[in-house]
Structure 1
Amino acid sequence: MAQASVLTDTEIRRVFRIIETTRHAERNRLAFTLSIFAGLRVGEIAALTISDVATPDGNVRREIKLDAHQTKGSKGRTVVLATRVRKEIEAYLKARSVWRHDSPLIASQRNGRAFSTVSLSMLFKEIYETAGIRTSSHSGRRTFATRLNARGVGMRTIQKLMGHRNIGTTALYCDVSDETMRNAVELV
């Protein structure tokens, strides 16, 4: 099976523009943001509750503590949230009129329940196709790792952020562009 594409900055902007035209733009924007700027797997996004991302008084957490049942491989992990992601979560929670702390963060508007991994993957695929990008829901995660690598973040740090057990798995996520190689040799 082919690896998911690494999205360019232009493609990321295009996806955000497409999301703004979708029926549930705020929800879809947050799901995409969590994928592309936090490196969460689709199943992890689907499993999030409001209490995972916000304190009881409504403040957005700096880190998400994922339990084993929320992750691949049944191994809990900590996801560190960038300021941009925290602001997106905050805006999303403010826009939601009513919510309970144990509610799913990304919920179906139809029934209020959490998306399944498959349903959320299909939503991502539909958004990507509308944006003219042929890829899978895993593109956000690959893009997250590749962008960190291109900015000089060490592979061990990326491994921890991705929640990988094996650094070799992390290396497979990091695409190296010609521009990255040109920039690297200029550091010598």
Structure 2
Amino acid sequence: MAQAKTLTAEELQQVFDYTAQHSHAMRNRMMLLFSFWAGMRVGEIASLRVGDVVDAGGKVKAEIKLSAEQTKGRHARTVFLPQKLRDELQGYCDIRAVQDRKQSFFLTAGGKPFSANVMAQHFFWLYKKAGLEGASSHSGRRTFITTLASKGIGVRVLASLAGHRSIAVTQRYIDVNDEMKRNAVELV
């Protein structure tokens, strides 16, 4: 099976431009941002509850503590949210104004919680309708890891951020491109 496509900044903007013009634009953008800016798996995003993301006062947390049940490998982990993601999430949370902290953070158009499978399919169709071939629900994670690697973040930190127990797994996520090679040779 081919690896998920790593998106360029332009391709990611293409997806955001598409989602902005269609139903549930803000929700879809937030789901994608969890993948691209926090490196979360689609199953982890689907498992989020309001209380995982916001504190009792309604403020978006800087760190999300995922329980073992919420992760692929059944190992609890902490997801660190960059400030730009927290800022966007805060706007989304303020508009939704959900009081029930146990409610799923993302709901389908029918008002039901997303399953991991339904969310993966949803991502696939968002990419396809935005005109991106080869992108899947894993594209965000690959792009997240590759982007950080291109900025010099070490593979051990990347593995920890991705929730990988082996750096060999993380290394397979890193997509080397010409820009990374150009920047590398300039360090000589």
Number of matched residues? Answer: 187
Structure 1 pair 139/9, CA: closer, same or farther in 2 (3 Å)? same
Q: State the Cα distance separating 1:109 from its structure 2 match.
A: 3.2
Q: TM-score, normalised by structure 1?
A: 0.97
Once residues 88 and 117 of structure 1 are traced to their aligned partners in structure 2, the CA distance between those partners, rounded to angstroms, is 23
Aligned-partner residue type, residue 128 of structure 2: E
Once residues 99 and 17 of structure 1 are traced to their aligned partners in structure 2, the CA distance between those partners, rounded to angstroms, is 30
SS across alignment from 1:73: coil
Aligned-partner residue type, residue 183 of structure 1: N
Q: State the Cα distance separating 1:176 from its structure 2 match.
A: 0.7
Can you give the 5+ residue segments of structure 1 that lack an aligned partner in the other structure? none
Once residues 109 and 89 of structure 2 are traced to their aligned partners in structure 1, the CA distance between those partners, rounded to angstroms, is 17
Can you give the 5+ residue segments of structure 2 that lack an aligned partner in the other structure? none
SS across alignment from 1:64: strand
In the alignment, what sits opposite 2:186? 186
Once residues 96 and 22 of structure 2 are traced to their aligned partners in structure 1, the CA distance between those partners, rounded to angstroms, is 17
Q: Deviations over 1:38-69 (max 9, x none)?
A: 00000000000110011011111100000000
Asked whether 1:11 is paired with 2:8, we answer no
In the alignment, what sits opposite 1:39? 39
In the alignment, what sits opposite 2:124? 125
Q: State the Cα distance separating 1:178 from its structure 2 match.
A: 1.4
Once residues 52 and 97 of structure 1 are traced to their aligned partners in structure 2, the CA distance between those partners, rounded to angstroms, is 15
SS across alignment from 1:74: coil
Once residues 27 and 182 of structure 1 are traced to their aligned partners in structure 2, the CA distance between those partners, rounded to angstroms, is 37
SS across alignment from 1:169: helix
SS across alignment from 2:122: helix
Once residues 31 and 154 of structure 1 are traced to their aligned partners in structure 2, the CA distance between those partners, rounded to angstroms, is 26
Once residues 122 and 99 of structure 1 are traced to their aligned partners in structure 2, the CA distance between those partners, rounded to angstroms, is 28
Once residues 178 and 13 of structure 2 are traced to their aligned partners in structure 1, the CA distance between those partners, rounded to angstroms, is 22
Percent identity over the alignment is: 45
Once residues 96 and 137 of structure 1 are traced to their aligned partners in structure 2, the CA distance between those partners, rounded to angstroms, is 24
In the alignment, what sits opposite 1:168? 168
Once residues 97 and 140 of structure 1 are traced to their aligned partners in structure 2, the CA distance between those partners, rounded to angstroms, is 27
Asked whether 1:115 is paired with 2:140, we answer no
Aligned-partner residue type, residue 159 of structure 1: A
Once residues 51 and 98 of structure 2 are traced to their aligned partners in structure 1, the CA distance between those partners, rounded to angstroms, is 14
Aligned-partner residue type, residue 47 of structure 1: S
After TM superposition, the runs of 4+ consecutive aligned structure 1 residues lying more than 3 A away are none
In the alignment, what sits opposite 2:92? 92
Q: Deviations over 1:83-130 (max 9, x none)?
A: 01111210111111444111111112313x320011101110111001
In the alignment, what sits opposite 2:77? 77
Structure 1 pair 78/98, CA: closer, same or farther in 2 (3 Å)? closer
Q: Deviations over 1:114-155 (max 9, x none)?
A: 200111011101110011112211000100000000111111
Once residues 40 and 167 of structure 1 are traced to their aligned partners in structure 2, the CA distance between those partners, rounded to angstroms, is 17
